[in-house]
Amino acid sequence: DTAVSQTPKYLVTQMGNDKSIKCEQNLGHDTMYWYKQDSKKFLKIMFSYNNKELIINETVPNRFSPKSPDKAHLNLHINSLELGDSAVYFCASSQEAWTDTQYFGPGTRLTVL
């Protein structure tokens, strides 16, 4: 009964490939997020969805495309992967946007070779 789950946990791929990360939450939350945590541990917001609608899209290359098929799922697709995309990607969810506890998934460690 994991609250926020992500798959896969590890992803190793070659430059130029396309990959997807999936996220699901069973908390009934309205808002979901994608964060990127780089090697220096900085946590940076990438996208946020509220009730399947995109509410924030930070300055992220358009190679990154989020998709929310329903309120409980927020997937991240990445095209033409680059070395600099290597990081840990966290999905999170909260009931209210931005002023409520965010529950993070376990993270997906992406390594681009």
Partner 1 sequence: GENVEQHPSTLSVQEGDSAVIKCTYSDSASNYFPWYKQELGKRPQLIIDIRSNVGEKKDQRIAVTLNKTAKHFSLHITETQPEDSAVYFCAASITGFQKLVFGTGTRLLVSP
**Contact flags string 56-75 toward partner 1, x per CB under 8 A:** x-x-----------------
In the bound state with partner 1, the residue whose beta carbon lies nearer, of 79 and 98, is: 98
Q: Give strand ranges (E) for the chain.
A: 4-7, 10-13, 19-25, 31-37, 43-50, 53-57, 64-70, 73-78, 87-94, 103-104, 108-112
Choice from 11, 90, 93, 112 touching partner 1 (CB under 8 A):
90
In the bound state with partner 1, the residue whose beta carbon lies nearer, of 8 and 16, is: 8
Choice from 41, 69, 70, 83 touching partner 1 (CB under 8 A):
41
Q: Is 109 within 8 Å of 22 (Cβ atoms)? A: no
Q: How far apart are CA 68 and CA 56, in angstroms?
A: 13
In the bound state with partner 1, the residue whose beta carbon lies nearer, of 28 and 40, is: 40
Closest CA to 67 of 100, 34, 43: 34
Residue 95 in contact with partner 1, rule: CB under 8 A? no
**Contact flags string 10-39 toward partner 1, x per CB under 8 A:** ------------------------------
Residue labelled with tokens 């430059």:
15
